[in-house]
Amino acid sequence: MNEQPQTDEWLADGEARVNTYRLLSEAFHVPDHELLELLEDVAGDDDLRVTVAIGGLVSELPDEIQSLRVDYAKLFVGPRELLAPPYGSVYLDGKGQVMTDSTMDVERRYRQEELDVTLDEPADHVAAELEFMYLLAHREVTALDNAEFETATIYLQKQQAFLGTHLGRWLPEFADRVEENAETEFYRLLAREAATFVSADSTRLADRLDEVQNSSPERIGGTDDSE
Residue span binding other proteins (CB under 8 A) among the ranges 108-116, 151-159, 168-176, 193-201: 108-116
In sequence order, the 6+-apart residues with CB closer than 8 A to the CB of 83 are: 74, 75, 177, 178, 180, 181, 182
Residues 97, 124: contact at Cβ < 8 Å? no
| Smaller CB separation from other proteins, 49 or 169 | 49
Report the DSSP beta bridge partners of residue 87.
Answer: 125
Q: Please, what is the minimum distance in Å from the beta carbon of residue 135 to other proteins?
A: 5
Q: Please, what is the minimum distance in Å from the beta carbon of residue 120 to other proteins?
A: 4
| Smaller CB separation from other proteins, 11 or 58 | 11
| Smaller CB separation from other proteins, 110 or 170 | 110
Residue span binding other proteins (CB under 8 A) among the ranges 14-22, 52-60, 185-193, 196-204: 14-22
> Which position among 112, 214, 223, 226 is part of the footprint of other proteins (CB under 8 A)?
112
List binders of other proteins among 118-157 (CB under 8 A).
118-122, 125, 127-128, 131-132, 134-135, 138-139, 141-142, 145-146
Give whole-number Cα distances, 114 to 37, 104, 109, 111, in Å.
Answer: 30, 15, 9, 5
Q: Please, what is the minimum distance in Å from the beta carbon of residue 7 to other proteins?
A: 6
| Total residues in contact with other proteins, by rule CB under 8 A | 71
Q: Taking the CB of residue 67, how many other CB atoms lie within 10 A of it?
A: 14
Q: Please, what is the minimum distance in Å from the beta carbon of residue 210 to other proteins?
A: 20
| Smaller CB separation from other proteins, 12 or 206 | 12
| Smaller CB separation from other proteins, 128 or 209 | 128
> In angstroms, rounded to a whole number, what is the distance separating the alpha carbons of residues 19 and 180?
27
> In angstroms, rounded to a whole number, what is the distance separating the alpha carbons of residues 194 and 199?
8
> In angstroms, rounded to a whole number, what is the distance separating the alpha carbons of residues 109 and 132?
9
> Which position among 51, 75, 110, 171 is part of the footprint of other proteins (CB under 8 A)?
110
Instruction: List Cβ<8 Å contacts ≥24 apart for 30-39.
Output: 30/69, 30/72, 30/77, 31/65, 31/68, 31/69, 31/72, 32/65, 33/65, 36/61, 36/65
List binders of other proteins among 36-95 (CB under 8 A).
38, 41-42, 45, 47-49, 66, 69-70, 72-73, 77-82, 85, 87, 90, 95
List binders of other proteins among 156-195 (CB under 8 A).
none
Residues 43, 166: contact at Cβ < 8 Å? no
Q: Please, what is the minimum distance in Å from the beta carbon of residue 213 to other proteins?
A: 20
Residues 164, 202: contact at Cβ < 8 Å? yes
